[in-house]
Chain A
Amino acid sequence: MSVKIDETLTIECETGNYHTFCPISCVSWLYQKIEDSFFLVVGTKTCGYFLQNALGVMIFAEPRYAMAELEEGDISAQLNDYEGLKRLCIRIRRDRDPSVIIWIGTCTTEIIKMDLEGMAPKLEWEIGIPILVARANGLDYAFTQGEDTVLAAMAHRCPKPEFPLRESKETLPKVVAFPSRKKDELDQYVIHPSLVLFGSLPSNVASQLNLELRRQSIKVSGWLPAQRYTDLPSLGDGVYVCGVNPFLSRTATTLIRREKCELIGAPFPIGPDGTRAWIEKICPVFGVETQGLEEREERIWESLKDYLDLVRGKSVFFMGDNLLEVSLARFLIRCGMIVHEIGIPYMDKRYQAAELALLRDTCIRMCVPIPRIVEKPDNSNQIRRLRELQPDLAITGMAHANPLEARGISTKWSVEFTFAQIHGFANARDVLELVTRPLRRQRNLEDLGWTTLVRKNNKFETTHLAHKVDKIS
C-alpha cells in the first residue's frame, strides 16, 4: 500500500511491528518544561514499570508525576473511579499544590472506557485545580505523539485575546512599512498579528528561536506550552501559529479548527537549512522581507565543516520511532549523507507537507534519489534490509542498538534526538555531534580488528573479522 505525493515521493506502509517508546513517556520532558504542572498517569503496573525504567535517575528526584495505579477492583468496576481519582488528586494538591493536573489516559483506561473527559470538569470544579485530559496511549500513538495529545488538550485552555485581532490584521499593510529602520535597531518589531509557536522546547532553545525571529523584527507573543501553566499564550481568531516539531499534527488541527488560528505551514527549524526555511515561511506572512538569512546559514555551514567532512558520503538508515525522522534525514542529506530509508511511525502528509517538499528539493539539489519513506515499519523486515545495505549508521531504538553494534553496524540511539537540543541555527552542531559520535568512535577503534562480536553460527554476520584472521594466518 503506497501513497504518491507526486511523481517522486512515495510513502510505503508496513505491518507496524516496530519498537518505540510508549507515548506516556512525554511526561518526562513535559513535567520539567511546565514547572507548575503535575502529571497523573492513570494506568497499570506496566505503565509504571516503563516510566520507572525509561526515566532512570529522574525518578529519584521527586518528580512531579505519579501513577494512579489501577487494581483489579478498578478494572472490574467494583470501585468508583471518580472517588478514587478525587482521593489521589486531593493528596496531590496537598503535597505539591500544582497549578494544573494533567491526567494521562492509557491503554487500560481506553479499553475499560473510563470516562476521564467526563470526570475531569466535575472534579476540577470540586477541588479547584484545572484538570486536563490527554489520551496518550499505545493503542493509538507512538512516543513523541504523547506530547501532541497533551498540547492539543492544553490548547483549549489558552485564554482568548483581549481584543479582536481580525481587524488589526486587515490594517496590517499600512503599518508594516518601516523603510527607515536601521539594521542594529533590533529591539524594534514590526507591528503584526500575534504569532504563537507550539512545541515543547528547553527554555533556552525557545529563546534562541525567539531571537532569530526578532532579528527579522518579528515578535513571538507566546509559546504553547509556556514555562508555567499560568502563562499560556492567548489564542483565537486571527492569531498565527507555527509548529517547531514534526509530531504535532493533532495540536495543529486543534489550533486551526477549535481555536480558529491561522497555521503557517513550514519545514521545521532543525538544521541550518530547516531553520532558514522555517523563518522564510514565517516572514512573508507578516509582510517582512528576510534580512541576512542566507549569509547566516552560510556561516553556520562553514562552522560545521569539520563534521561535514566526516559524514559526507556516509550512508544512514532510520528505523523510525520518534517522528523527527524526515526533518533529520533532510538535514543529513544536505550534509552530504546518503539516506537509505526513513522509517517513521506516522506520517501526516498535510502537516509535514512543507517539510516533505523541502526533502524533495534537497534531494534534487544534492543529486541523490529520494529515500523510501516507510510508515509503520516492520522491524524484522528492516533488519533484513539493514543486513543487505550495510549502512554506515543506523539510527534506531535502544532495543536494537547493541545487537546491531555487535554485528558491526554503527548505531545512534534515536531517543537522544528527542532530548538533545537540535533546533535553530546554533544547535545544528549538536545534531552532528550526535550523528558523528558513533563514526568518531569507530574511527578511534577501527584498527583493533574486532568489529563483529557475535559467534559464527549466528545468522546475521558480516565478514570483517574473517578477513583479518585470513591475513594474519
Chain B
Amino acid sequence: MKLAYWMYAGPAHIGTLRVASSFKNVHAIMHAPLGDDYFNVMRSMLERERDFTAATASIVDRHVLARGSKERVVDNIIRKDQEERPDLIILTPTCTSSILQEDLQNFVDRASIISDSNVIFADVDHYQVNEIQAADRTLEQVVRYYLDRSQRQEALDQFVTDVPSVNIIGIFTLGFHNQHDCRELRRLLRDLDIEINQIIPEGGSVEDLKNLPKAWFNLIPYREVGLMTAMYLNKEYGMPYISITPMGAVDIAECIRQIHKNIDTLASSSSNKRVNYEPYIDAQTRFVSQAAWFSRSIDCQNLTGKETVVFGDATHAASITKILAREMGIRVSCAGTFCKHDAEWLKEQIQDFCDEILITDDHADVGDMIARVDPSAIFGTQMERHIGKRLDIPCGVISAPVHIQNFSLGYRPFLGYEGTNQIADLIYNSFALGMEEHLLDIFGGHDTKGIMTKCLSTNIGLIWNPESLLELSKIPRFAREKVEKNTEKFARQKGIQTITVEVMYAAKEAFST
C-alpha cells in the first residue's frame, strides 16, 4: 500500500483501450464496474473526437459479484457484434476483473463461436504492467492474432513490394503529438521515395494486418509502443526494424542512414534501387530546418551553460536531453523518466549528456530534485509544469501525460525536420520567458502595481457588518470584487447604509436580471 496523489502512467486497461480504439472498426468491451469507462471521456474531451469511442463496459455490479458474470459478458459481446458489426472485439480486463479471477478467456471462446466478429481477450495483467506496457503488448497481440490466422489459412502474401516500403508502428490515440508526428513522418518518407505500406494502429484496419510483411522494414518512432510488435515481426518474418527516434537533427540523420542501410541490403540484387540520402540530410539540416542555424545564432549564445532538468517518457526524455546538450549547448543537470521498465536503455542513451539520471514514478521525487537543482528551465510533463509554477521556473511540456492544450489543432510535430523547428521554439521560448521575469524582478517589477486603485467610487457611508464581510470572504476570489462593487452600487441606489448578508443577496438577484 502506498500513498499516491498523482501518477505518470495510467492503469493497464487504458493502454489496451488506446490501441483498440485507434484501429478502425475494433470494439473494446471492458469487464468493469460503473464509472470505469472514463477512457471515453478522455478520448472525447482531449482528442475532441467526433465519433463515439468504440469502447463499452460490461458492468460488474453486486449481482455479478454474487453469481459471476455468467452469460452477461458473452451477451454483451454478441450484442455489440450485432449492433456495430466490428471486425474485432477485444475483451479488456480491469483491476476489478483481475481480482475476480473469472475465466474470461472461456467467455471469449464461447462468444467467438456465435459472433461474426473475431473476439480476443487482451492478455494484460493489471498488477504487472502499466498503461504504456499494456499498449505495447496489446498491439503485438492483435498483430500476432491476425498474422497467425492468415498463416493458418495460407492467405499470407510474404512477397515484399517492388519499391522500398515501410510500416510505421506505434502511432495511436491520446499519444503526445502523435497525429502531427505521423504527418511529418509521411513527408519525410515521401522525400526519401519510400512508400508507406501501413500505419498502425491509428486508422488501420485489422483485416489489412496480413499485409504487414510486404514492407521492406518497420519504423518504430517511439520506444514505448510498437517495439514488441517490431521484434515479433523480426523474429517471425525476418523484417528489419529501425527504432531510432527521428527527433533532433542528429538523430534524424542517424535514422535516415539506418533506413539507407536497410534499403541497400534488400536492394543489393537490383542495383538501380540503391540510394544516396547524404545530400538530402545535408540540405535539410542546414537550410530547411532552422534549428541548426538557430543554435549558432547570437540569441542562443545566451543559453550557453544554463541549467535545465528533463523528465518524461523514455523516448522524449532521451531525445530532448540529447538536443539540449548536443545541439544547443545547454547544460542538462538532471534527466529522467518514469518508464522504469526502460531505465537501462535511457541510461545508456544519455549518460554522456547529463550530470545525473533520475528513474522514478513518484512526482514528489521529481519535485524535490527540481527544487534542489533549481534550473533555469524545466522540460517535462504537465506535472513538471505545475511544479515549475510553484517554484517560479518556466517549463516546456515535452511528454505525456498531458492536458487538452497539448492536443493542439495547429501543426506541431516533434519528429522530423519541422519537429526540430518546433522544439527549438519551445526551448527558446521557455528560457526567454524566464529571462523577462528575472529582469522585471531585478528592476523592481511593474511599478504601476501599487499606485493604481481598482475602485473609482467612494465608499463613504457604507458599512459592511461582520456577517456580510464573512460572507464576502467565502465568495471565490475571482468573483469577490465584482460582488463587492455590485452590492455597494445596489446599496447606494436603495439608500442602504449598512450592508448585511440579505442586502448582498438582494443585490445578486437585482443584478442578475
> Which single residue of chain B is at the shortest CB-CB distance from A203?
B474
B391 within 8 A of A: no
Binds A, one of B57-65, B138-146, B302-310: B57-65
A21-B35, A204-B475 known; A402+B10 contact, CB < 8 A: no
Q: CB of A293 within 8 A of chain B?
A: no
Nearest CB in chain B to that of A112: its residue? B99
Q: Which residue of B has the minimal Cβ distance to A302?
A: B513
Residue interface mask A1-36, B partner, CB < 8 A = 1: 000000000000000111111111100000000000
Least CB distance from A401 to B in Å reads: 7
In the complex, A137→B62 CA distance in Å? 11
Pick from B3, B36, B59, B475: contact of A22, CB under 8 Å: B36
Q: Are B51 and A303 in contact (CB under 8 A)?
A: no
Q: Decide: A67 and B50 in contact? CB cutoff 8 A.
A: no
How far is B38's CA from A143's CA once the two chains are assembled, in angstroms? 12
Bound CA span A459–B281, Å: 46
Structural contact, B50 and A454, CB atoms closer than 8 A: yes
Encoded as 1 (CB less than 8 Å from any A CB) or 0, chain B from 386 to 399 comes to: 10010000000000
Residues from chain A with a CB closer than 8 A to the CB of B3 are 66-69, 88, 91-92
A229: shortest Cβ distance to chain B, in Å? Answer: 17
- Do residues A211 and B505 form an inter-chain contact, with CB atoms below 8 A? yes
> Contacts of B58 on A, CB cut-off 8 Å?
17
| CB–CB A108/B38 < 8 A | no
Contact of B57 with A70 in the complex, beta carbons under 8 Å: no
Chain A count of residues within 8 A CB distance of the other chain: 77
Q: Residue B282 at the A interface, CB < 8 A?
A: no
A17 to B73 alpha-carbon distance, docked (Å): 12
Contact of A107 among B33, B127, B474 (CB under 8 A): B33
Interface string of B88-128 (1 = CB under 8 A from A): 00000011100110000000000000000000000000111
User: B10: which of A45, A59, A401 is its contact (CB, 8 Å)?
Assistant: A45
User: Once bound together, how far apart are the Cα atoms of A121 and B501, in whole Å?
Assistant: 41
With both beta carbons as reference points, the residue of chain B lying nearest to A380 in the complex is identified as B83
Residues of chain A within 8 A (CB-CB) of B41 are 19, 53-54, 397-399
Asked if B269 CB lies within 8 Å of chain A CBs, one says: no
B11 x A49 contact (CB < 8 A): yes
Q: Does B512 contact A (CB under 8 A)?
A: yes
Q: How far is the CB of A135 from chain B (nearest CB, A)?
A: 12
- Tell me whether A71 is interfacial, beta carbon within 8 Å: yes
Q: How far is B56's CA from A383's CA once the two chains are assembled, in angstroms?
A: 14
Minimum CB–CB distance for A432 against chain B, Å: 11
Nearest B residue (CB) for A345: B34
Which residues in B have their C-beta under 8 angstroms from that of A401?
Answer: 44
Distance of A81 Cα from B127 Cα, bound (Å):
17
A53 touches B38 (CB 8 A): yes
For window 29-75 of B, CB contacts with A under 8 Å fall at 32-38, 40-42, 44-45, 48-53, 56-62, 65
CB distance from B188 to the nearest CB of A (A): 28
Decide if B7 touches A45 in the complex (CB within 8 Å): yes
Contact between chains at A454 and B51 (CB < 8 Å)? yes
The answer to whether B62 touches A139 (Cβ under 8 A) is yes
Identify the closest chain B residue to A53 (Cβ).
Answer: B42
Q: Indicate whether A16 sits within 8 Å of B59 (C-beta atoms), given known contacts A44-B126, A303-B509.
A: yes
- Please give the distance in Å from B97's CB to the nearest CB on chain A: 10
Distance from A461 Cβ to chain B, minimum over Cβ atoms (Å): 11
Residues of A within 8 A of B44 (CB): 398-403
Contact of A426 with B1 at beta-carbon distance under 8 Å, contacts A45-B11, A403-B50, A403-B51 already known: no
Specify which chain A residues have a CB less than 8 angstroms from the CB of B508 in the assembled complex: 426
B6 part of interface (Cβ distance < 8 Å): yes
A87 to B3, CA, bound (A): 9
CA distance in complex: A137, B7 (Å): 21
In Å, the complex CA distance between A45 and B10 comes to 7
Per-residue CB contact flags for chain A residues 93-132 toward chain B (1 = under 8 Å, else 0) read 0000000000000011011100000000000000000000
A397–B475 Cα distance when bound, in Å, is: 28
Q: Please indicate the chain A residues that have their CB under 8 angstroms from the CB of B37 in the complex.
A: 19, 399
Q: Are A110 and B65 in contact (CB under 8 A)?
A: yes
Distance (whole angstroms) from the CB of A286 to the closest CB of chain B: 21
Residues of A within 8 A of B49 (CB): 402-403
Is A309 interfacial (CB-CB < 8 Å)?
no
Q: Which of B473-487 contact A (CB under 8 A)?
A: 474-475
Complex: A22 Cα to B386 Cα, angstroms: 26
Question: A319: CB under 8 A from chain B?
Answer: no
CB of B13 within 8 A of chain A?
yes
Residues of B within 8 A of A208 (CB): 505
Q: Which residues between 183 and 204 of chain A lie within 8 Å of chain B, taking CB atoms?
A: 186, 203-204
CB pair B52–A59 under 8 Å, yes or no, is no
In the complex, which residues 127-171 of chain B have their Cβ closer than 8 Å to any Cβ of chain A?
Answer: 127-128, 130
Cβ proximity bits B425-439 to A, threshold 8 Å, 1 near / 0 not: 000000000000000
A463 at the interface (CB under 8 A from B): no
Most central of B10, B53, B96 by chain A CB within 10 Å = B96
Contacts of B100 in A (CB 8 A): 111
Is A81's CB under 8 angstroms from B56's CB?
no
Contact B4 A138, beta carbon cutoff 8 Å = no
Contact of B14 with A by CB under 8 A: yes
Between A23, A45, A79, A141, the greatest number of chain B beta carbons within 10 A of the residue's beta carbon is seen for A45
**Complex interface: chain B residues within 8 A of A21 (CB):** 35, 38
A48–B51 Cα gap in the complex (Å)?
27
Question: Which residue of chain A is the closest to B2 with respect to CB atoms?
Answer: A69
Contact check: which of B33, B475, B512 meets A138 at CB < 8 Å? B33
Find out whether the CB atom of A139 lies under 8 angstroms from the CB atom of B1: no
The answer to the question of B502 belonging to the interface, with a C-beta cut-off of 8 Å to chain A, is: yes
Closest residue of B by beta carbon distance from A54: B38
- For the complex, what is the distance from the CA of A186 to the CA of B61, rounded to whole Å? 51
Name the B residues within 8 Å of A288 (CB-CB). none
Residue contacts A-B, CB under 8 angstroms, 15 given:
A17-B57, A22-B36, A25-B35, A46-B96, A49-B14, A49-B38, A67-B5, A72-B128, A88-B3, A108-B95, A138-B35, A139-B61, A208-B505, A380-B83, A398-B45
Given contacts A19-B37, A107-B33, A426-B509, 17 further A-B pairs with CB under 8 A are A21-B38, A45-B7, A46-B126, A50-B38, A53-B38, A60-B389, A66-B3, A67-B5, A68-B2, A85-B1, A87-B1, A203-B474, A204-B475, A207-B471, A402-B44, A403-B53, A426-B508
